[in-house]
Structure 1
Amino acid sequence: MANAPLPQRRAASPDQGELRPVHQQRSFASLRSIGALILREMATTNGRSAGGYLWAIAEPVGGIALLTIIFSMGFRSPPIGTNFAIFYATGFLPFSIFMAMSGRISRSIMNSKALLAYPAVTFMDALIARTIFNAITQILVCYILFSGILLLMETRTDPQFEGIALATLMAFAFGIGVGVINCFLFAAFPSWENIWSILTRPLFLLSCIFFMFDDMPAVAQKYLWYNPLVHVVGQMRKSFYPSYIGDYVSPIYVFAVSLTLIAIGIALLIRYHRDLQNS
């Protein structure tokens, strides 16, 4: 008996289209979720104030500009260069980036528990959305302040875009690393948020914002070197002052610490994120 011919597979109708692989569907869903979360951040950040999101930029710009003017009046002669405003800005802005990034990211799960209840939204979507939103905001703040100081004052500096970008990336990386691991710790141990607030208060003085790392005693340098923010500030000042060598700056150290914190934080969130969402 002759074998019956195999049935012909019917060609897919153009109207039906081809089914996308599951990972592609998930990728598109994540992109939509991240986009929606970014828009939500823009709407909720100073959303009740006139001007809305513009205040997220205007508030830090105004605050930093005011502090710069005040300190410029009190400290006429900076440790390097001739203009205290640009000296202070090159130290405080990297520090501000770190504080803003780490603070916002650390509350990603705590502030998005209602949204994380939906299967389409994951904790990674919340982390990525807050990272992108705050990165854009901080870049705008830095651009406005640096441009304003350079245009309105005689700073006698030579800004190098590549070095500034590297310093900004270092600040972002360290802020994200601390934010991700604190995202777990804040949700798992509520008292840690208060403890962290106390621990970070001396950072303003220990990050070489008002003084130069090179001017510190050797004993102090040995300990300050392990503060990643010292390297971030040093890299930013190297990018503005051509005569400043800053050979202690190690971007590799900053990125190594940052990536280690990110890896540990994400591993903990993957393991415990469902417990944290339901707590």
Structure 2
Amino acid sequence: MRARSAFSIQKDVIFAIFVREMNAKFSSYTFGNVWLVLEPLLMIVMFIVLFGLRGRGEFGYVAPPIFVFAAFLPFKILWQLTMRQNMGAVSGARGLMGFRQVRLFDVFMAHSFLQGCLFLVVGLLMGLALYWFGFDATPRDPLLLLAWCAVLWLFASSVGILACVASQFAREIEKVISMIQMPLLFISAVFFPMTMVPEPYRTILAWNPLVHAMELIREAWFPVYVSPVADGFYLFLWTIGAMALAMSSYRLSWQRILAQ
């Protein structure tokens, strides 16, 4: 029998952990998973109440339900949930470390892939629901949209790994990161386009890389929207920097983390 390659073994390990996490998520917390669809839906209803279903609440280019759907869903699943799952990966991986084929990095990958798949499934369900109610949520450039969503997903995965490593040395980091998630929701251009923000606040908010992610997603989604601040290179720099720091810190600290 020919020996299996290390890549083949790692691929099967990640898939096994992925299936394990998916079964645990969908078999034990039914209402928690329904909430993945209900939360964006409630946000859409709130915007309908505040801005009206059509007409003056269209921000000049898109109806409020589609506006919320296009920004809140990537922020919630690709950023918040992906980062949070990786940040807390160690506590759920203790039982798996007894298998010599399993590495902590495999757990990070499985969690990240799970959130990416959830984003695609929930996004498809929400898009069909909007279409059923008469809203066309079809993206202008689907491939470009998926590309920017993938960059945001990589950024969130890397920040989650980095936060996981750092929190093993200072547990307060988890609390701090959890506390800033709500302010980030309101300063990351999730509920407003940057065209509505006057200077000098626009320049100040543009230091936040999540603003660029939201604006680039809007540009790829909406036919007539042009962001005044979106910079893909800036977002790439943050993503590459976060990935480099995450991989370096993981490489230096993974044995110490598991030994705790």
Using the size of structure 2 for normalisation, the TM-score is 0.89
Runs of 4+ in 1 over 4 A off after TM superposition: 155-158
Amino acid at match of 1:162: L
Identical pairs, percent: 18
CA separation of 1:155 and 1:83: change in aligned 2, threshold 3 A: farther
Q: Which of residues 69, 77, 84 is equivalent to 2:45? A: 69
1:59 counterpart (19, 35, 39): 35
- Provide the C-alpha distance between the structure 2 equivalents of 1:41 and 1:103, rounded to a whole number of angstroms: 14
Question: Structure 1 residues 158 and 107 mapped into 2: Cα distance closer, same or farther (>3 Å)?
Answer: closer
Segment of structure 1 superposing worse, 180-189 or 95-104: 180-189
The residue number in structure 2 matching 1:171 is 152
SS in 2 for 1:188: coil
Superimposed CA distance per residue, residues 168-221 of structure 1 (whole angstroms, 9 cap, x where no aligned partner): 112212211211211212223211111111222211110112222122122111
Count of aligned positions = 255
* Distance in structure 1 (CA, Å) of the matches to 2:62 and 2:106: 45
- CA 158–259 in structure 1, closer or farther in 2 if over 3 Å, else same: closer
- Quote the offset at 1:87 in angstroms: 1.0
- Name the structure 1 match of 2:164: 183
Q: 1:196 corresponds to which residue?
A: 177
Q: Determine if contact 1:81/1:87 at 8 Å carries over to the other structure.
A: no
Secondary structure of the corresponding residue to residue 182 of structure 1: helix
Q: Which residue number corresponds to residue 33 of structure 1?
A: 13
Q: Cα RMSD between the aligned structures?
A: 2.1
Structure 2 counterpart of 1:79: 59
Aligned partner of 2:120: which letter? I
Work out which of the two has the higher radius of gyration on C-alpha atoms and give 1 or 2: 1
Q: Which amino acid aligns with 2:8?
A: F
Give 1:257-276 correspondences, 5 Å limit.
Answer: 257-276=238-257
Shift in CA distance, 92/134, structure 1 to aligned 2, threshold 3 Å: same
- Residue 89 (structure 1) shift: 1.2
Q: What's the CA shift for 1:147?
A: 2.9
The alignment status of 1:246 with 2:227, answered yes or no, reads yes
Alignment match, 1:10: none
1:48 Cα offset (Å): 2.3
